[in-house]
Amino acid sequence: MIGGVGAVAAGGVAFVEVGPRRVLHQVGLVNSPDHHVPESGWPVEEFTLDSAALRQSVAWAVARPPDAAVSGVVLCLHGRNDDHRFAFDTIHVHDVVASLGLSLAVVAVDGGADNYWHPRRSGADPLTMIKSELLPAIDAVLERSMPRTVLGWSMGGYGALLVGEQMPTEFRAVAAASPATWDSFEHSAAGAFDDAADFARYDVRDALAQLSGITVRIDCGTDDGFIGQSRRVAASLPVPNQGRFSQGFHDAAYWRSIAPAQIATLAAAIQ
């Protein structure tokens, strides 16, 4: 068992788990570091976007300091088979922001369970939804446009890099936690891309130069199946990676443990 190889789905993303620590993690004997902050009490305001780009109503939400002016926005992109509540209910991003004494608005949106944040053959287009529908809606709720950053986990980590590449003038910083990236269509998770041409069209590794003008942070646990790809993408960035590769698996506990450092990086890019 200890020397075995197994296929594991973390957040719906399939990759190969190899080695004794990952096997022990599967059976609950080894865990990622975790970090919890006090509840902020910030209200989470729920909204619905009638999205032509996604061809359906889209849920999104905002949490902001109740007694301070907002200075910037953190847009959160969820992982596969999750939704916009993941940022608030599982990672507690708004509580992390409050614990750091920052006045950032935390926004999260449903991008589809497995759309991988790029246009799909089905006609769903999360990128257009974000740029043409969500960003104006955020500005309307906050009553003005302000500096934006983007943070994502797994599928959403890939999405954060893609959004940064596709909209470099709209975002000042990108934080990708354990981004789901692969070296080929054949190695990608089932359903992440429509076909090999779709993979090539939205392969974030080929457009990293578009991130040259913004802050980029890539973090990944050293026991994560995506660690190799994350290191290669980080090494190819046109700017120094602000993140780190430390102990952890592909799970929410690890993502909570790095959340304060990620938010601090995003906040510094706004100031």
Q: Which of 25, 28, 59 is nearest to 249 (CA)?
A: 25
Dump strand ranges (E) for the chain. 5-10, 13-18, 44-51, 56-63, 72-77, 104-109, 148-153, 173-177, 215-221, 245-246
User: Which two tokens mark 158?
Assistant: 């890939």
- For residues 1-22, give the mean pLDDT: 44
Question: What's the confidence (pLDDT) of residue 19?
Answer: 66
| Residues 51, 133 contacting (CB under 8 angstroms) | yes
pLDDT digits (tens, 9 = 90+) for 76-93: 999 999 999 999 999 999
pLDDT at 4 over 60: no
- For residues 14-31, give the mean pLDDT: 67
Mind giving me the DSSP string for 131-182?
IIIIHHHHHHHHTS---EEEEEETHHHHHHHHHHHH-TTT-SEEEEES----
Residue 21 Cα distances to 1, 5, 223, angstroms: 11, 11, 7
* CATH number for the domain whose boundaries are 35-270: 3.40.50.1820
Percent of the chain with pLDDT over 90: 87
pLDDT at 259 over 60: yes
Percent of the chain with pLDDT over 70: 93
CA distance 239 to 236: 9
- For residues 210-223, give the mean pLDDT: 97
The amino acid at 216:
V
- For residues 128-145, give the mean pLDDT: 97
Question: What's the confidence (pLDDT) of residue 113?
Answer: 96
- For residues 124-147, give the mean pLDDT: 97
pLDDT band at 16 (very low <50, low <70, confident <90, very high): very low
- For residues 186-205, give the mean pLDDT: 98
Question: What's the confidence (pLDDT) of residue 7?
Answer: 37
CA distance 4 to 68: 53
- For residues 223-250, give the mean pLDDT: 97
| Residues 155, 113 contacting (CB under 8 angstroms) | no
- The two most distant CA atoms of the chain are separated, in Å, by 57
Instruction: State the pairing for strand pair 148-153/215-221.
Output: unpaired
Question: What's the confidence (pLDDT) of residue 5?
Answer: 33
Number of residues that this document lists for the chain = 271
The mean pLDDT of the chain is 92
Question: What's the confidence (pLDDT) of residue 89?
Answer: 98
Cα 82 from chain centre? 11
- For residues 151-172, give the mean pLDDT: 98
Q: Which of 12, 205, 193 is nearest to 120 (CA)?
A: 193
Burial class (CB in 10 A: 0-12, 13-18, 19+), 227: middle
